Structure 1
Amino acid sequence: MKLLFLAVFLYLTASHVSASDPSPLQDFCVADNYSKVFVNGKVCKDPKLATANDFFFAGLDKPGNTSNPVGSKVTPVNVMQIAGLNTLGISLARIDFAPGGQNPPHTHPRATEILTVLEGTLYVGFVTSNPENRLISKILNKGDVFVFPVGLIHFQQNVGYSNAVAIAALSSQNPGVITIANAVFGANPPISDVVLAKAFQIDKQLVDKLQASFWMDNN
């Protein structure tokens, strides 16, 4: 029984550790974006070559262009923008919303998100996993904070009469994003309309119409 308990404890500990980005084993690991080596993350460049610019990003004070069909713009600041974030397990994004604008239902496969509203009023929510599929939602105003658990489908919509701005912090250097409508109806090559018609219990003509629509990326 003691051995069994120890095995279960070690398994749970390992599961917890692997549920987020790996911990760094040095002060920093600035990403070498020119390396041809493919690893789970990014290769480090020589730390002696690191400069302040490797840990710096400018321009998050500038509004994103929301002149698009969904009326929102996400400005990410992850390892692709700040090479020094490599192995540090954190990133953020600015999200701008026109009146009525929406950050459509999506997931971050590798990160929990915590959102702070800087301006405006947002209706936000996430859906729990099967079988409950319970919607947990709230209206947020300036200064309010809301958390979206890792991997769950979530959204934000501006329900005010003026522009809205939020900052999202994410628990991964590269959280990833899967926009549900884009992934399902905008896949390349397309998912079979027979498959989607059965999955959504709709006719094939509607699936064909949805697949022919323009599915934009607001990131």
Structure 2
Amino acid sequence: MANSKILLLLCLFAFSFSRALAFEPSPIQDFCVADKTSSARVNGMVCKDPKLASENDFFFPGLHIPGNTSNTQGSKVTPVNVVQIPGLNTLGISLVRIDYAPWGMNPPHTHPRATEILTVLEGTLEVGFVTSNPDNILIRKILQKGDVFVFPVGLIHYQRNIGHVNAVAIAALSSQNPGAITIANAVFGSKPDIGVEVLTKAFQLDKGVVQFLQTKF
């Protein structure tokens, strides 16, 4: 019986240890300001000498300025991640401002490295995300000013302004560099192109339709 208990404890320890290794460790220093001049390749960005850090390494101005929504989607994402604030390096957080023209949309996309929590500052948004295979259930909600919604990491999601006035949202993301994969751009605008025969079968479309979509993206 004693041996069984010891074996169980060892198994639980191994499981906990493996789970701990699966996630980025917490910072072991006050900060790690990204050194954008370094050519070293690491999972993240190299730290510069902390003695050279300044207030501007932790600062980004101008998030109050509306983004230009004069584009085909009618939206503009203004990122504030480690590229804009070097002091975010290793801290595992970033944010974006999203502006939407009337009926503008932030099209279906994913963040491969981050969960997103979005707050509506102005306007009315339709938002939603789709669960993974095999169910692919759409979780959808209409948001008003002050409402908050969460998009789980890696899942396809979107936002759409369903009002006649401009809308604005702020979203926080659980990564210093969350990444973004816009589905239509990635599928129909890859370089080089994904084979027409692959997309024709995958989307159950005529070859001509696939070729037309590839020219659009």
- Is contact 1:92-1:169 (8 Å) kept? yes
Of 159, 162, 166 in structure 2, the residue corresponding to residue 159 of structure 1 is 162
Paired-residue identity, %: 71
Aligned to 1:6: 10
Count residues with an aligned counterpart. 213
Aligned to 1:37: 40
In structure 2, C-alpha distance between the alignment counterparts of 1:211 and 1:198, rounded to whole Å = 15
- Give 1:9 shift: 4.7
In structure 1, C-alpha distance between the alignment counterparts of 2:37 and 2:22, rounded to whole Å = 27
In structure 1, C-alpha distance between the alignment counterparts of 2:60 and 2:131, rounded to whole Å = 34
- Give 1:203 shift: 1.1
In structure 1, C-alpha distance between the alignment counterparts of 2:201 and 2:165, rounded to whole Å = 40
Could you tell me which runs of 5 or more consecutive residues in structure 1 were left unpaired when the two chains were aligned. none
Aligned to 2:49: 46
Aligned to 2:185: 182
- Is contact 1:75-1:93 (8 Å) kept? yes
- Give 1:6 shift: 3.3
* Structure 2 residue 208 is the aligned partner of structure 1 residue 208: no
Q: Deviations over 1:159-180 (max 9, x none)?
A: 0110000000000000000000
Alignment of 1:103-114 (within 5 A): 103-114=106-117
In structure 1, C-alpha distance between the alignment counterparts of 2:19 and 2:88, rounded to whole Å = 23
- Give 1:12 shift: 4.6
In structure 1, C-alpha distance between the alignment counterparts of 2:75 and 2:141, rounded to whole Å = 19
SS at match of 1:208: helix
- Give 1:8 shift: 4.8
Aligned to 1:92: 95
SS at match of 1:198: helix
Aligned to 1:76: 79
Aligned to 2:200: 197
- Give 1:110 shift: 0.2
Change (3 A) 1:96 1:25: same
In structure 1, C-alpha distance between the alignment counterparts of 2:84 and 2:26, rounded to whole Å = 20
* Structure 2 residue 135 is the aligned partner of structure 1 residue 132: yes
Of 23, 26, 29 in structure 2, the residue corresponding to residue 23 of structure 1 is 26
In structure 2, C-alpha distance between the alignment counterparts of 1:13 and 1:146, rounded to whole Å = 32
Could you tell me which runs of 5 or more consecutive residues in structure 2 were left unpaired when the two chains were aligned. none
- RMSD value, Cα: 1.4
- Give 1:112 shift: 0.2
Counterpart residue type for residue 119 of structure 2? T
TM-score by length of 1: 0.93
